[in-house]
Structure 1
């Protein structure tokens, strides 16, 4: 009974309060395949590409590359660097630091302009660009058509999200709001204390005190109580990712922190709310939290939902 009451109170709090540190997660919308066209002169600027520890980023070129002419800054920070005739696969290791910027230069075999392409690999604690197509020559019509199709799909997703936001503005607060939106279905709110089975990743920005997992008909939430480390700088989570064993991601809807975590401060709670159908998620998830500059993170693995 105590667990049920605390779970309902949590969701009422999230639905009805507007705390100072309540923030929307920084999850930029992008196409599933990124396409880059190189210019044929020296004015081509370095192109930023997001990479993340343990996640693969594959470059596909429309020209053969000179594998011996490939240079990668901080090569020791990558677990894999596999260069083919027209492909390049990168997998950063845990040695790479969030926010780190490393230069990658690729040279082409035929010597035609442009003779090379330079990329800046920007390390993110959880997100990466999985597929990057690089064009030196004029692109085929089919690639433009596919890009337009993907852009339309993304625009439709944005339209649906805007409609949900407009509807939410007219939704009542508290228990009524949870019922009216269907978040609180017949299964009510289920709660699980997962503190003992959830390890904290090394080198994190804070220490773990407790971890609770919640589930409703259409939402899941993770509540993490964090303790500041001695002499640590103030820290606040601004973004989060919930990733499953198969690299599937739950759509994070909100990240909320009760207050900045600082040396000598009390425990601070971080609540991460995500969208999930009733039959999902199954299995174990890893939660990654990051601050504004993405350099100081908190990672918790082995999270299971009721």
Structure 2
């Protein structure tokens, strides 16, 4: 049975109004980011997020000069696959969050702009999977697709705003959970999964307890972490919950129980949107700070 403090902590989490979401830019392919190069060749360097072990693909509307690719720290990438008009990158485990690598590509036809520069920024857990890079004039189809993307994003923002307003106006505690539809007659199911968890990465912290919960519209993970002897205090800044296929659950919020330096452990709660009862896992839970340290827990399942 979970402790009363954990139940209270979970109730506070589900009733909280804070949001954790990140929007994407419009592109001709849903979910991709679009970068347009200035036709006059004026200097501009776009930042692209990459992460160790995750694939980032750049798709160009012009053929590349294969021997004209320059990548800073090339040896620290486990894959650099250069195609006719594509470039796929996978950083190795040797990269460190916060690092930057300069990438320069040159185009075969010699038209302006003759080259493009990018700054690859290493993120602890997130990478941009698909980036479209355009030099030429855009077709009417791409504008129409972008309009559809903007409308979809606007609708998503409206839904998110409605959810936040509803949560803000809802009462606290159990009444709030019921009024927002987060909780129904089946209540909240819990499961202690500590013995099943795999520590995939991160040695600064140790997970001494992991409990998962499921309500009607959301799931939550409560992780009790202890800092290794001699390690600096650690506070989570971001989180991902990624399934076997690479798909991520939408993280709604992350909350750390207030503690003092004398506490032996700290409790961190992650809540994610999961309207489908079939969303059970296993998932990989990755937490990172505002710095290089991360902790990754594998085989996270839900009731």
Q: Report matched runs for 1:19-38 at 5 Å.
A: 24-25=19-20, 27-31=21-25, 32-38=31-37
Q: How far apart in 1 are the matches of 2:235 and 2:49?
A: 22
**Cα separation, partners in 2 of 1:28 and 1:229, compared to 1, 3 Å:** same
Structure 2 counterpart of 1:298: 295
Match of 1:279 among 277, 280, 285: 277
1:145 aligns with 2:139: no
Q: Contact conserved, 1:242 with 1:285, CA < 8 A, in 2?
A: yes
- Residues 11 and 174 in structure 2, CA contact (< 8 A), matched pair in contact too: yes
State how far apart, in whole Å, the 2-side matches of 1:261 and 1:300 are.
Answer: 24
Give the aligned partner of residue 226 of structure 1.
225
Find the residue that maps to 2:198 and give its secondary structure: coil
Deviation at 1:24, TM superposition (A): 4.3
SS, match of residue 222 in structure 1: strand
Provide closer, same or farther for how the CA distance between residues 236 and 23 of structure 1 changes in structure 2, counting only shifts above 3 A: farther
- Describe the shift of the 1:77–1:265 C-alpha distance in structure 2 as closer, same or farther (beyond 3 A): farther
Q: Work out the CA distance in 1 between the residues paired with 2:205 and 2:232.
A: 10
Q: Which residue does the alignment assign to 2:197?
A: 198
Which residue in the other structure is 1:177 paired with?
Answer: 176
1:68-87, aligned counterparts within 5 Å?
A: 68-87=67-86
- Quote how far apart the aligned CAs of 1:202 are: 3.0
Q: Secondary structure at the match of 1:196?
A: helix
**Matching of residues 56-67 of structure 1 within 5 Å:** 56-67=55-66
Q: State the Cα distance separating 1:47 from its structure 2 match.
A: 0.8
- TM-superposed deviation, 1:156: 0.8
Q: Is the 8 A contact 2:41 2:112 kept in 1?
A: no
How many angstroms apart in 1 are the aligned matches of 2:211 and 2:127?
28
Structure 2 distance, partners of 1:41, 1:229, is 54
Q: In structure 1, how many angstroms separate the alpha carbons of the residues matched to 2:227 and 2:3?
A: 29
Instruction: Determine if contact 1:15/1:174 at 8 Å carries over to the other structure.
Output: no
Evaluate the alpha carbon distance shift between residue 278 and residue 40 of structure 1 in structure 2; reply closer, same or farther with a 3 A threshold.
closer
Per-residue deviation, 1:231:
2.1
Structure 1 runs not aligned, ≥5 long: none
Displacement of 1:273 in angstroms is: 0.6
Provide the rounded CA distance (Å) in 2 between the counterparts of 1:28 and 1:95: 26
2:39 corresponds in structure 1 to 40
